[in-house]
Amino acid sequence: MQLHSIRTVLCPHCQCTEVVGEGVKISRSTAFGREIRQHVNGRKWEYRNFLCGYGVEFSPNAGRDEVAARCSKDPEILERNAKRKAAHDKLLSIIADFDDLDDEYQSTLHQEIASTKWHFE
């Protein structure tokens, strides 16, 4: 598919140029079926995803590419993940300090922390 508006050709954080997906956004189903979303100015919502995880979408409203997904090497993501890991490690340390806590409950706490939705890796 030929994209007309999107300009981003590489990830600004890791220089990845490997595109793993691109196209135009489809509208929700209407009485007339599915159709390509198109702004009244004629431009479409285009997107491009890179192998590193970085993704952009062209916004017809703003007339520019906007970040839709972050690269795992984005400095903000690296800093966020370091803070999450520190919090994770501190929680494990606090649990370990309760050395008279029964094994079953300690295990439950470890499982809860391991299953948390927001990972740092």
Please identify, using beta-carbon distances, which residue of 13 and 44 lies nearer to Zn ion: 13
Q: How far is the CB of 76 from Zn ion (least distance, A)?
A: 12
Residue with tokens 């922390």: 113
Backbone angles phi, psi at 97, to 5 degrees: -65, -25
Helices vs strands, H then E, count in the chain: 2, 4
Min. distance of Cβ 114 from Zn ion in angstroms?
Answer: 27
Minimum separation from the CB atom of position 82 to Zn ion (A): 18
State the nearest-atom distance from the C-beta of 5 to Zn ion, in Å.
21
Q: How far apart are CA 11 and CA 113, in angstroms?
A: 32
Of 77 and 92, which has the nearer Cβ to Zn ion? 77
In the complex, the residues that contact Zn ion under the rule CB under 5 A are: 11, 13-14, 16, 52, 54, 71
Inter-residue contact 88 to 52 (CB < 8 Å): no
Q: Which is nearer to Zn ion, 16 or 92 (CB)?
A: 16
Contact 23, 1 (CB under 8 A): yes
For residues 6 and 11, which CB has a smaller minimum distance to Zn ion in the complex? 11
